[in-house]
């Protein structure tokens, strides 16, 4: 004999945007089974399909052969009444004004013959309106759900939420709050690195506030709040035993980790933070405020390095090495560089990029050219590494001194600091080195054509150096003006983008 089954699904939604609201609802669907023989039922059982089904059959698969018809929401039988659920979400995020709600009462659940939402003809009201581009909030942002028709209603979606604040204002407030608190998060990171909290937790594992405060020689109250702030940023993990490093912290923030940004973060705290403190003056004057930062002697970045104490120079070198380690792989692999046997990295600092290149291209020899003060500090360290015999360090000023001959020259994070005159001087100088021509690899943050993304490049431009950030088209024009061709640009999506070009010279 045919039989009927009922599928009822109960739900509860908790809406916690500005106020907390709980709504409950259920969906009921009637399913009529066909006349079924015992043999057919046993065959279905032996198929194994019903063994993991809550109702003992899967209507969306073989079990669909057993069903004569469905009265109600088919997807409810499958397991989730998507249509009803989406309507409830719409009511939560776009609640109607109380005086506009039109209540409709059904004596029975309306039939749904297809997977589509009920048509306008199935509604009691002939004034049902279409709801275009219904949206829901996810993680504080808006996500499109697609175009759909709203049924059983005769009201327009209101633009206000329960407390009377327009929803677009609420979204703006959330974004602005994130911006307003951004500098606080940066300073939390800076201070934690300066106190070497992450190094301490790496060595000791999980620690209590009291233990950390004793080791750091800091106040208990201040230590607890700083540790909690780090945990809120995802830099630490907190449990009943205390605090421990998050995975990203062990990878990138512990000072002796392979890809540590520890020294670069200290550089940001000691030099970039004070620079941006005087951003208002920089905007008004259109000039760098580098003279306001501690220990700065002159406005020119390269000249200033010569004027610094040994300690300041060493900190700067460590900062550049720190960031070079995490960008070297992207620069080395953006293009196939196997054709180049001799490479010269201009301003290559500690040789972090050079070391990466000889690992990837074993036949390559790399010359690192940088200021004498830099070379003195890094040579012994780099030569102890594997394949270091393929790396040589040469002291010199890339603008004033002779540049070694090579097949490929690399300028990583150099051009954006330089004036147009210095760039022309450098590019012309490189062109004169070989009668056969040269290849040039440039690593910089490249702006989009609107010059507003990525934000890191725009922020970097606010330091108001004598150089500037450039877009893809601007770099292409710059290089072509100096006789370079075959300009290829790779947007890596990471910290630095890469440009490869060449210049063929007539004999």
The 10s digit of each residue's pLDDT in 21-77 is 566 777 888 888 888 888 888 887 888 888 887 778 888 888 778 888 788 887 887
Q: Assign 223 a pLDDT band (cuts: 50, 70, 90).
A: very high
Tell me the C-alpha to C-alpha distance, in Å, between residue 192 and each of 264, 268, 273: 13, 13, 15
Interval 308-338: pLDDT, tens: 667 777 778 888 888 888 899 999 999 999 9
Least confident range of 100-114, 126-140, 412-426, 434-448: 126-140
CA–CA dist 57, 150 (Å, integer): 32
Percentage of the chain modeled with pLDDT above 90: 46
Please give the CATH architecture assigned to the domain spanning 327-503: 3-Layer(aba) Sandwich (3.40)
Least confident range of 20-29, 160-169, 379-388: 379-388
pLDDT of res. 100: 47
More confident residue, 204 or 106: 204
Which segment, 14-18, 115-119, 139-143, is predicted with the most confidence on average? 14-18
Partners of residue 242 on adjacent β-strands:
239
Answer CATH for 169-257 from 2.40.50.140, 1.20.1050.10, 3.30.360.10, 1.10.10.10: 1.10.10.10
349 contacts 317 by C-beta, under 8 angstroms: yes
Q: Assign 183 a pLDDT band (cuts: 50, 70, 90).
A: very high
pLDDT of res. 327: 93
More confident residue, 295 or 302: 295
Least confident range of 129-138, 390-399, 416-425, 427-436: 129-138
The first and second tokens of residue 425, run together, are: 């001087």
CA–CA dist 353, 358 (Å, integer): 9
pLDDT of res. 358: 95
pLDDT of res. 170: 75
pLDDT over threshold 90, residue 416: yes
160 contacts 167 by C-beta, under 8 angstroms: yes
Q: Which of 101, 77, 94 is nearest to 27 (CA)?
A: 77
pLDDT of res. 449: 93
Least confident range of 5-9, 171-175, 309-313, 453-457: 5-9
For the residues 486-504, what does the mean pLDDT come to?
Answer: 93
pLDDT of res. 65: 82
CA–CA dist 56, 53 (Å, integer): 5
pLDDT of res. 134: 36
Give the Cβ contact number of residue 305 at 10 Å.
Answer: 18
Q: Assign 136 a pLDDT band (cuts: 50, 70, 90).
A: very low
For the residues 104-123, what does the mean pLDDT come to?
Answer: 41
Q: Assign 11 a pLDDT band (cuts: 50, 70, 90).
A: low
Residues sharing a CB contact under 8 Å with residue 325, sequence separation 6 or more, in sequence order:
258, 259, 260, 352
pLDDT of res. 74: 79
What is the residue-averaged pLDDT of the chain? Answer: 79
pLDDT over threshold 90, residue 156: no
Reduced to 3 states, what is the DSSP secondary structure of residue 420? Answer: helix
pLDDT of res. 97: 53
Is the CATH number of domain 4-93 3.90.950.10? yes
Q: Tell me if residue 278 is catalytic.
A: no
**Catalytic annotation, pick one of 306, 416, 417, 482:** 416
Least confident range of 13-27, 248-262, 284-298: 13-27
pLDDT of res. 119: 38
Partners of residue 115 on adjacent β-strands:
none
CA–CA dist 129, 126 (Å, integer): 9
pLDDT of res. 318: 84
Q: Assign 419 a pLDDT band (cuts: 50, 70, 90).
A: very high
Q: Assign 293 a pLDDT band (cuts: 50, 70, 90).
A: low
Characterise 138 by phi-psi region: left (phi > 0), alpha (psi -120 to 50), beta (else): beta
pLDDT of res. 383: 43
More confident residue, 211 or 110: 211
pTM: 0.64
pLDDT of res. 78: 80
Q: Assign 302 a pLDDT band (cuts: 50, 70, 90).
A: very low
Characterise 289 by phi-psi region: left (phi > 0), alpha (psi -120 to 50), beta (else): alpha
R_g of the chain computed on alpha carbons:
33
pLDDT of res. 59: 83
In the chain, where the domains are located: 4-93, 169-257, 327-503
CA–CA dist 56, 169 (Å, integer): 50
Enter the DSSP assignment of 408. Answer: E
Least confident range of 232-246, 288-302, 363-377: 288-302
pLDDT over threshold 60, residue 462: yes
């Amino acid at each position: 004999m045919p039989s009927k089954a009922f599928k009822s699904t109960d739900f509860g939604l908790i809406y916690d945007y500005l106020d907390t609201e709980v709504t409950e609802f259920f969906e009921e669907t009637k399913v009529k089974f066909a006349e079924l023989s015992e043999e057919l039922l046993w065959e279905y059982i032996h198929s194994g399909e019903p063994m993991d089904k809550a109702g003992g059959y899967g209507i969306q698969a073989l079990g669909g052969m057993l069903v004569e018809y469905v009265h109600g929401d088919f997807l409810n039988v499958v397991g989730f009444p998507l249509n009803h659920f989406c309507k409830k979400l719409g009511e939560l995020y776009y609640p109607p004004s109380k005086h506009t709600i039109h209540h409709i009462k059904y004596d029975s659940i309306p039939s749904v013959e297809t997977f589509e939402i009920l048509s306008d003809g199935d509604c009691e009201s002939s004034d049902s309106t279409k709801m275009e581009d219904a949206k829901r909030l996810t993680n504080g942002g808006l996500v499109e759900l697609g175009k759909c028709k709203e049924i059983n209603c005769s009201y327009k979606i209101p633009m206000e939420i329960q407390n009377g604040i327009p929803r677009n204002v609420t979204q703006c407030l959330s974004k602005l709050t994130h911006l307003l608190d951004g500098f606080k998060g940066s300073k939390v990171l800076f201070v934690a690195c300066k106190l070497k909290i992450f190094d301490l937790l790496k060595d000791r594992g999980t620690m209590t506030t009291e233990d950390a405060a004793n080791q750091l020689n800091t106040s208990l109250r201040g230590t607890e709040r700083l540790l909690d702030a780090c945990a809120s940023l995802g830099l630490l993990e907190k449990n009943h035993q205390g605090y421990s490093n998050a995975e990203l912290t062990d990878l990138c923030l512990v000072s002796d980790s392979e890809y540590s940004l520890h020294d670069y973060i200290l550089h940001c705290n000691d030099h970039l933070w004070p620079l941006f403190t005087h951003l208002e003056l920089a905007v008004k004057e259109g000039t760098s405020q580098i003279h306001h930062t501690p220990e700065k002697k002159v406005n020119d970045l390269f000249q200033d390095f010569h004027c610094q104490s040994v300690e300041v120079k060493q900190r700067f070198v460590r900062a550049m090495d720190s960031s070079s380690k995490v960008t070297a792989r992207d620069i080395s692999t953006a293009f196939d560089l196997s054709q180049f046997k001799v490479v010269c990295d201009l301003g290559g600092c500690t040789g972090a990029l050079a070391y990466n290149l000889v690992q990837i291209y074993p036949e390559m020899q790399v010359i690192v050219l940088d200021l004498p003060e830099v070379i003195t500090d890094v040579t012994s360290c780099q030569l102890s590494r594997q394949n270091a015999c393929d790396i040589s360090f040469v002291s010199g000023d890339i603008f004033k001194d002779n540049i070694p001959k090579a097949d490929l020259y690399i300028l990583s994070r150099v051009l954006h600091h330089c004036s147009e005159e210095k760039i022309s001087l450098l590019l012309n100088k490189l062109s004169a080195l070989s009668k056969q021509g040269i290849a040039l690899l440039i690593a910089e943050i490249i702006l989009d054509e609107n010059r507003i993304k990525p934000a890191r490049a725009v922020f970097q431009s606010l330091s108001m150096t004598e150089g500037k950030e450039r877009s893809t088209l601007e770099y292409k024009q710059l290089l072509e003006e100096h006789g370079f061709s075959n300009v290829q640009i790779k947007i890596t999506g990471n910290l630095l983008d890469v440009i490869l070009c060449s210049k063929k010279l007539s004999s």
